[in-house]
Structure 1
Amino acid sequence: MAQEPAPAAQAPIVAFDFDGTITTKDSFTTFLKWRAGPVRWWLGCLQLVPAALAYLVHRDRGRIKAAAVSVYLRGVPHDRLQADADRFAELFAAKLFRPDALATWRRWQERGARMVIVTASPDIVVSPFGHGLGADLVLGTQLSYDAENRVLGAFSGPNCRGPEKVVRLHEVFGPDLRLAAAYGDTSGDTEMLAIADEPGFKVFTAKP
């Protein structure tokens, strides 16, 4: 007699970092460059020089990312940004995704796992990719919006990196969460990998 599928609450939970793990490079930087166009991109880079110099001292990736949000996205309506993110995913998924990461993702899906992307990139940019992959959830850095739903140029919470990835997972799945597997490629994934039965660090290397 065939065994009944496990209820969703009992299904294994698998977490993937996004940039550098599923993709070959940083999706948010690629998105900003694509959206801005060559001239606006380089003008923005000049505006970011002070933030880049400050980064050499504080080494806070969240601060320099917030500065990029302010330069390139401040004042953009949420609906417009969402539409741009959807279009970006349509155009760039095939160019960014690692085939071996996709193969592992699909193997876990076939086993009935709940698939979660946990990323330091803004969730609004990564969510369309997650939708295309059939992800159950995308947890990412959240942008802040004003009363008219326009980007303020800051985050509404912490940069979703390092310990914050586990904090976000615990908020959804509870404090006793144990991941069946987790995959990442930087020190920003260390804490997430530590709560996985099968931690995978830099295991994906294939290019599109």
Structure 2
Amino acid sequence: MNEPALLGGVVAFDFDGTLTVRDSFTAFLRWRAGGLRYALGLARLAPAAVAYLFHRSRGRIKAAAVREFLKGVPRAQIEDEARRFAEESAVGLLRPDALRVWREWRAREAKLVIVSASPDLVVAPFARGLAAHALIATRLVYDAEDRIVGTFDGANCRGAEKVRRLHEVFGPDLRLKAAYGDTSGDREMLELAEEKGYRVFKERP
């Protein structure tokens, strides 16, 4: 990284539940599928939901949802749909107090990073709208025809994977100026920060 990028330090924000009031991936799937198709999809995911009670892997149940609702969809189509979803939903999803803190750090010339377990294609339009310096999120696998396969490129971006990905982007000696999160999946990222913001944002749109 060059020196100007480090001027205000690196500040990491979890997305779902931190910058937003609810899970963006679930909201996107519901928005895209419509009520009936979404309900039918949830019914077909019942076995995966039962299995989750035993393996407790959020990555596995998320991958099952990707296969159920998005498998075979061309990347260009899903990116366009994600953009339209963000345009329609941002006002109702983003927390006003989180946005104020985001802007405060930007005014201090911090390098602002969104680190999310949600698929990158869903979060990317929000990251662009917020002028984030970087987005680190769960990556999907695409086939030779650029269609969604239903598996992840690497691990679900949660817990220790958030720190690993941050180090991958910013280097092994990274120390965050601040980090904000709202679940146990953000614990390792918060430990990497000088200023730890756990469930500090409460406002709703």
Could you say which residue in structure 2 is the equivalent of 1:37? 34
- Say whether 1:122 aligns with 2:116: no
TM-score normalized by the length of structure 1: 0.96
Among 191, 196, 205, the residue aligned to 2:202: 205
RMSD: 0.8
Instruction: Say yes or no: does 1:14 pair with 2:11.
Output: yes
Question: Which residue of 141, 156, 159 corresponds with 1:159?
Answer: 156
The corresponding residue for 1:113 is: 110
Structure 2 residue aligned with 1:25: 22
Unaligned runs of 5+ in 2: none
Return the alpha-carbon distance in structure 2 between the equivalents of residues 108 and 71 of structure 1: 39
Query: Displacement, 1:9?
Result: 3.8
Determine the structure 2 residue equivalent to 1:195.
192
1:65 corresponds to which of 62, 73, 77: 62
Structure 2 counterpart of 1:97:
94
State the aligned residue count: 203
2:146 corresponds to 1:149: yes
Partner letter of residue 150 of structure 1?
A: R
Q: Percent of aligned positions with the same letter in both sequences? A: 61
User: What stretches of structure 1 of length at least 5 have no aligned partner?
Assistant: 1-5
Cα pair 2:120 2:136 within 8 Å, conserved: yes
Report what 1:3 is aligned to: none
**Following the alignment from structure 1 to structure 2, what is the Cα–Cα distance between the partners of residues 34 and 7?**
40
| Moved >6 Å (runs of 4+) | none
Is the contact made by 2:20 and 2:95 (CA closer than 8 Å) also made in structure 1? Answer: yes
The answer to whether the Cα contact below 8 Å between 2:8 and 2:109 also exists between their aligned partners in 1 is yes
- Structure 1, residues 3-51: CA drift from partner, whole Å, max 9, x if none? xxx6114441000000000000000000000000111101101110000
Deviations 1:74-131 (A, max 9, x none): 0000000000000000000000010000000000000000000000000110010010
Normalised by the length of structure 2, the TM-score is: 0.98
Counterparts of 1:9 and 1:113, CA distance in 2: 7
The Cα offsets for residues 55-89 of structure 1, whole Å up to 9 and x where unpaired, read as 01111000000000000000000000000000000
